[in-house]
Amino acid sequence: MTTIKDIAKEAGVSYTTVSNVIHGRTSRVSSQTIAQINEIIKRSGYAPNMSARSLVSNSSKVIGIINHLVPKASGGFIADPFHSAFIGAVEETLRENGYYLMLRTVEDSMDLLSFLRNWNIDGMFFTGLFEDEFFDTLSSVDVPIVLIDSYINHPNMQNVGLEDYKGGYLATKYLIENGHRNIAFASPPIRSHGVVEERLRGYRQALDEFHIPYQEQFLFQGEFDVQSDMLLSRQIAAHKEITAVFATADILAAGIIAGLHDIGLNVPNDISVVGFDDVTLCQLISPTLTTIHQDTVEKGKAAVEFMMNRLNNNRVEEHQKILPVHLIERKSVKRI
């Protein structure tokens, strides 16, 4: 493996000169020497030792996306197309800023502290946090933190979120305007002060505006896995009066459509379905899914912008960015 000393020897310059060129400190190095060193670096395939560099600069150039929403079914976090798209947007934007991404699931406070002891990371993104014992531990950590889709207000953390309430309202209002009155609400388990609760509030607001009674039995909760989706589909189908479903995630909507099809029901002829996220999956399933659109790429970029401002000690004018949503009409809803 080529080292800085090898490059210095071949170029006939000092170790310090090569190090300065690698790190961009070239004010006292001639253009000819810079070109010579860069040519050797390129030809030899030299890669800097990031571990050694982190010891010198106290920066690993690694940012973690930490998942605390531990699914019952393994792989649930990555299996959700929304999370995959968001992680891709974050990784690309971090890479453009010279940083690396690490993905980790932590189950509890001890797991988090163990992770931090073993990895010198520069910052962390957290998805869907709630005010609980885990957050109490996190709030004492001296690392820049950006929250994603959280309703926690903390002076040392920024948050990137959505118009969740509006999304729930728009989805339900669209179904009502298409003649539906008995509308199911399908979601993962609802927790206080979370995005699902906000989407439920929007759902209930739309029902209220059209003088449609809210019915607790039309509320269906399950995990993001095939077995749960099949069970939800059967539970929904058991209520013969239900003509439509608002699912709070596209992956859940797709699972419900598959489950309904499995028991002989057609979407949208028998039951209409609206999702939330507008991931690529929406245009690949049949029928294509009417859904609430959010800009996943913009969410990733906004999260990284917050993080870069923290790492560069820039003044942060805002602690929260709420991105807009709108409805995308496709073919999963029938007018009745």
How confident is the chain (336 residues) per 10-residue block, as mean pLDDT? 84 88 77 89 67 55 83 57 89 92 86 81 88 82 90 89 98 98 95 93 98 97 84 96 97 94 96 96 95 96 93 81 98 97
pLDDT value, residue 175: 98
pLDDT at 73 (0 to 100): 46
- State how far the Cα of 203 lies from the Cα of 150, in Å rounded to an integer: 19
| Same domain assignment for residues 121 and 72 | yes
Task: Determine the structural domain holding residue 216 and report its residue range.
Answer: 164-294
From residue 183, give the alpha-carbon distance in Å to each of 173, 274, 295, 335: 10, 10, 26, 13
Residue among 150, 191, 187, 138 nearest 322 (CA): 150
Confidence at residue 54, expressed as pLDDT on a 0 to 100 scale: 47
| Same domain? 193 vs 150 | no
Specify the pLDDT at position 299.
96
Torsion of CA 307, 308, 311, 313, to 10 degrees: -110
131 & 228 share domain: no
Domain match, 13 and 103 both: no
140 shares its domain with 199: no
Q: What is the pLDDT of residue 258?
A: 95
Q: What backbone phi and psi angles, to 5 degrees, belong to 47?
A: -125, 130
pLDDT at res. 273: 98
Task: Determine, yes or no, domain membership for 44.
Answer: yes
- The pLDDT score that the predictor gives to residue 70 is 57
Note the residue count of the chain. Answer: 336
